[in-house]
Homo-oligomer: A and B are copies of this chain.
Amino acid sequence: MALRPVKPQHETRTRILDAAEELFMQHGFEGTSMRQLTARAGVNLAAVNYHFGSKDALIEAVFKRRLDPMNAERVAALDALEKDGQALASVDIIRAFVVPSLRLIEDAKGGGRNFIRLLGRTYTEPAKTVRALIGQMYAPTMERYKRALERALPQMPADELVWRMHFMFGTLAYTLAATDTVQLIAGCKPEDRYDARLLEERLTVFLAAGLHAPLESSIKKAA
């Protein structure tokens, strides 16, 4: 029972998940039918319900497959940074958060790029269930990063930090969702478009600057 070459054990599940990633990204959840999906995956129509139970359960499985490892990677990166015991620079915290998601845009073959665009798009997804699902998958990681930033920026008011984290998260989300599509980037060299290192550096620098924006704005003048 050992050494059988390719053993297509969960192969059908994987094919379905890959096809779902791609089609959900292209057409959204409601815009993708089980017929399209199973045809693309090269499996039978009934296979999705057999392996996952329902379309909703499939959606959940699509996110779970990638999101759990991605957030584990983020937390591990923070752990590694904090090992030294010395204070963290906020740039490093930002980079630790950004990198695990951006790296996937280079994984065109394995479908990571499809997922990452789907993920970016889903942050603003209206669907009741989906948003809650993602939110709870993210919650512990977000809490962890919030505490890290609080320690790195003790002088920043709590509500200001919350807003700036919100903005940062949004910039990342849009960047993930739009890497392929946006007309603006037309001005950018095509070979740079999928260079994750370049993008993560650009994005990190931008976010760090925003996070450190001066506090004495006209907001305070009003008080």
Are B127 and A31 interface neighbours, CB within 8 A? yes
Are B202 and A185 interface neighbours, CB within 8 A? no
Known contacts A184-B169, A209-B213: A126-B131 contact under CB 8 Å: no
* Residue A58 CB within 8 A of the other chain: no
The stretch that binds B, out of A5-13, A46-54, A81-89, A159-167, is: A159-167
Known contacts A30-B28, A166-B182: A189-B159 contact under CB 8 Å: yes
- CB contacts (< 8 Å) of A139 on chain B: these are 183
Are B217 and A213 interface neighbours, CB within 8 A? no
Shortest CB distance A93–B (Å): 16
Listed A/B pairs (27) with beta-carbon separation below 8 Å: A27-B126, A28-B28, A28-B127, A120-B124, A121-B126, A123-B174, A162-B185, A162-B187, A163-B185, A163-B206, A164-B206, A166-B182, A166-B185, A169-B184, A170-B170, A170-B175, A171-B174, A171-B210, A174-B174, A201-B217, A201-B219, A202-B217, A205-B213, A205-B214, A206-B213, A209-B213, A210-B210
Q: Which residues of A contact B (CB under 8 A)?
A: 25-28, 30-31, 120-121, 123-127, 131, 135, 139, 142, 158-160, 162-167, 169-171, 173-175, 177-178, 181-185, 187-189, 192, 198, 201-203, 205-210, 212-214, 217-219
